[in-house]
Amino acid sequence: MYKKGFKYCVIAVMALGSTIAIAGSLKDAPVAFQSGNWKILRTLDQMTDKVDCTGIYKDDYGTQLTDDSLFLPVKGGIQGVTLRFGELPAEPLRLASDMEKKVGFVVITGSDFSKLLANGKLRFQISTLVNGINSGELDLTGVNEALASIKSGCPITAQSPQSQKPTKPKVLLCNEILIARMKSQGLKEGQIQSICE
């Protein structure tokens, strides 16, 4: 069950906010690692140069894995959640938290996240206001390796040719003089590249 309290809600909303904020930019993010049904996408915060690692299930950019949570997107107003981990008995129905209702994601964290990692399958039934019961299943093959990549900062690993996205040739809009001036002003290579592309 989820802990209640102001501190938990603030932390959870901040975590969700950061996950949701980068969801739109994930489609252009390079795949740093792939294992089973999971791809780890690597993004760079343009203001802090901090690396963000986000796992996605198959090619579903809404179903996201972080270092301590799994987020399942649900439309139609989440009301109740029932989870079943592997072949264990289903967990009792729980009401959606206020945070889950506001952001439209079921958040699997804490002891439920530990159960998720220890089993090969997740089945869920989510009751909604508009769409009735939303049922589904995730094959968790590769989730532990994906989590290890996230926790290690998602370094880029060698990919098979099938998993690599073709890259478009980059056209730089800056000449060598402008690039040299930007470097002398202390801009980093990544900043210069994003300005000149």
Q: Looking at the chain, which runs of residues are DSSP E strands? A: 31-35, 38-44, 51-57, 60-65, 69-73, 78-85, 94-95, 105-109, 121-128, 132-139
If 0-12 CB within 10 Å is exposed, 13-18 middle and 19+ buried, where does residue 145 land?
A: middle
Give the pLDDT confidence of 95-135 residue by residue, as tens digits: 999 999 998 999 999 999 999 999 989 999 999 988 889 89
Amino acid identity, position 160: S
For residue 195, what pLDDT is reported? 73
Full set of structural domains in the chain with CATH: 6-165 (2.60.40), 167-197 (no CATH)
Q: How far apart, in whole angstroms, are the C-alpha atoms of residue 67 and residue 59? A: 19
User: pTM of the prediction?
Assistant: 0.68
Q: How far apart, in whole angstroms, are the C-alpha atoms of residue 177 and residue 168? A: 25
- pLDDT at 169 > cutoff 80: no
Give the pLDDT confidence of 2-28 residue by residue, as tens digits: 444 333 333 444 444 444 434 556 888
For residue 13, what pLDDT is reported? 42
